[in-house]
């Protein structure tokens, strides 16, 4: 299918040049990294930019670093980059696990984490994981750089806190100091590539505290603070799990759409929460399934 929208293409070599284009064109400029969402939007006329700014030549957006316990993912880091990294697998296994569930290899080779959260669809697989790691999004314009906590990033379906003259430069998260383990549970219609009908990420800590976040179960991916508060300080058991399954229903608001009904999503929210908590806690004690998609579905 041809793209009918006409636009100019620029590929700036330095950051200042890129930021000036965004400052000048604002809503009429779109950043191009992997293009796996943008090109679809261009084909369907959902995006009608005057200029497409290819950010792939901006060296400071490339690669990731783990220094002083802080993981910095440059805006050009793809899901395949994360999957291929022994460091990510060892230190941020939950991020590694969720990356494996994003679309398929041919998409993951180009799709970036930054792009995933800029597209901000409610089903973004990276979002609940970034939420439980308390990630921060770094956004830069000619006015300067600011840090946006992931909790404030998503403002609605396909809407973010990014200003029209800004681009995302990186996503940062701290390696939790306490011993912890995680699990990302994704519900999809079949194994292999699909958007999430629902997703739940859990981080369980050795002091019996827990972080829980969901995607595709409300207008935006979000943490579940009431469920976390209920669980806090307690060892996981059948009674507590039963109460957690009831509590999380107050925190999700799924809709019915082409991928499943609201009722099914609500039911599966409870199932996924239970499984994700049990697997995360088992992993915490070295007994759970190894990270990856093989044991999750």
Give the footprint of another protein on this chain (CB under 8 A). 1-9, 32, 35-36, 39-40, 42-43, 52, 54, 56, 80, 100, 103-107, 109-110, 191-193, 293-294
Could you give the CA distance from residue 174 to residue 217 in angstroms, rounded to a whole number? 26
Min dist CB 35 to another protein, Å, is 5
Could you give the CA distance from residue 294 to residue 297 in angstroms, rounded to a whole number? 7
Min dist CB 255 to another protein, Å, is 22
Cite the DSSP H helix spans in the chain.
15-25, 38-43, 79-83, 86-91, 93-100, 105-108, 113-119, 126-132, 150-153, 225-231, 238-248, 262-284
DSSP conformation class of 297: -
Give the residue from 9, 82, 77 showing the smallest Cα distance to 42: 9
Between residues 8 and 207, which has the closer beta carbon with respect to another protein?
8
Min dist CB 59 to another protein, Å, is 15
Between residues 33 and 276, which has the closer beta carbon with respect to another protein?
33
Min dist CB 95 to another protein, Å, is 18
Between residues 52 and 196, which has the closer beta carbon with respect to another protein?
52
Between residues 22 and 133, which has the closer beta carbon with respect to another protein?
22
DSSP conformation class of 32: E
Give the residue from 201, 86, 90, 192 showing the smallest Cα distance to 150: 201
Between residues 12 and 176, which has the closer beta carbon with respect to another protein?
12
Min dist CB 47 to another protein, Å, is 11
């Amino acid at each position: 299918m041809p793209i009918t929208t006409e636009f100019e293409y620029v590929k700036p070599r330095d950051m200042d040049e890129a930021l000036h284009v965004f400052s000048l064109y604002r809503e009429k400029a779109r950043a191009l990294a992997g293009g796996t969402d943008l090109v679809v939007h261009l084909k369907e006329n959902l995006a009608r930019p005057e200029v497409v700014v290819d950010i792939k030549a901006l060296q400071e957006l490339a690669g990731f670093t783990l220094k002083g316990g802080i993981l910095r993912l440059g805006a050009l880091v793809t899901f395949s980059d994360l999957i291929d990294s022994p460091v990510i697998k060892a230190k941020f296994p939950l991020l590694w696990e969720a990356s494996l569930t994003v679309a398929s290899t041919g998409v993951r080779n180009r799709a970036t984490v930054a792009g995933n959260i800029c597209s901000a669809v409610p089903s973004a697989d990276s979002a609940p994981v970034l939420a439980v790691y308390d990630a921060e999004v770094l956004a830069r314009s000619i006015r300067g750089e600011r840090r946006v906590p992931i909790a404030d990033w998503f403002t609605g379906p396909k809407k973010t806190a990014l200003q029209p003259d800004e681009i995302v430069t990186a996503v940062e998260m701290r390696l939790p100091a306490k011993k912890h383990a995680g699990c990302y549970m994704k519900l999809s219609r079949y194994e292999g590539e699909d958007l999430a009908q629902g997703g739940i990420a859990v981080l369980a800590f050795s002091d019996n505290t827990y972080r829980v976040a969901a995607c595709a179960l409300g207008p935006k991916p979000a943490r579940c603070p009431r469920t976390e508060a209920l669980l806090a300080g307690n060892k996981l058991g059948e009674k507590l799990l039963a109460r957690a399954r009831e509590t999380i229903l107050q925190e999700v608001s799924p809709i019915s759409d082409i991928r499943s009904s609201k009722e099914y999503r609500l039911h599966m929210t409870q199932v996924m929460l239970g499984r994700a908590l049990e697997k995360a806690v088992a992993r915490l004690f070295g007994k759970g399934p190894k990270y990856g998609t093989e044991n999750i579905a």
